[in-house]
Amino acid sequence: MGNRAACTLYDVARAAAVSTATVSRVVHGNDRVRPATRQRVLEVIDELGYVPDAAAQSMAWHRKEVIGLVTITARGPETDVEREGVAFIEEVLRGVQVALSKVGWSVLISVLAAAERSDAYQQLRRISAKVDGLVIAEGIISSEQLALLAERVPIVLAAGSLDEPNADVVDADNWSGTTELLRHMLEQHG
């Protein structure tokens, strides 16, 4: 393959003897292209190694097709509870990746150090400029800071307070689950 120079949409259009609009339609799966033309454009794309410029697409579509997942490292010597928190975030990450892969989006993972907690809001603001939405582990920033971020991008809190007014919240109902588990144990084995 060697070191090919970056190929542009214009290069593909020129080599396939079509307009840039036709190349764009093929790249985006638009049906309004004759099958023979589509095939020729796809062959040129493959031959030249063309990859659409994500930054240019982001500007044109006003979206980045990236969701940010932000958590924080352990706050001190790691405990069993913190290890469980890491396992929880790993499960959230798996779910986010599965859901995003179905629509062709990506996930940007950011792990803030506990020592950086005072600067967490500023870091989240910078991250919010790179994504279409944020999934944030609960307790990283205040409700007021969440409100400011929510003005920029949609926010989902993982394991947050259900009455948080500035973000959607996804949380497990551990209390009810534990109550049902104990009720079952007592009824069956009590």
Mean pLDDT of each 10-residue bin along the chain, 190 residues long: 68 95 86 92 92 64 81 61 61 87 89 75 90 86 90 87 82 77 84
Instruction: Supply the pTM of this predicted model.
Output: 0.60
Query: In this structure, what token pair is assigned to residue 34?
Result: 């004759």
pLDDT, one tens digit per residue, over 33-50 is: 999 999 999 999 999 988
Domains in the chain: ranges and CATH? 9-52 (1.10.260.40), 66-175 (3.40.50.2300)
**Res 17: pLDDT:** 96
DSSP string, 100-154: HHHHT-EEEEEEE-GGGGGGHHHHHHHHHTT-SEEEEETTSS-HHHHHHHHTTS-
Buried/exposed code over 19-44 (b: 16+ C-beta within 10 A; e: otherwise): eeebbbbbbeeeeebeeebbebbeeb
In the chain, the amino acid numbered 108 is: L
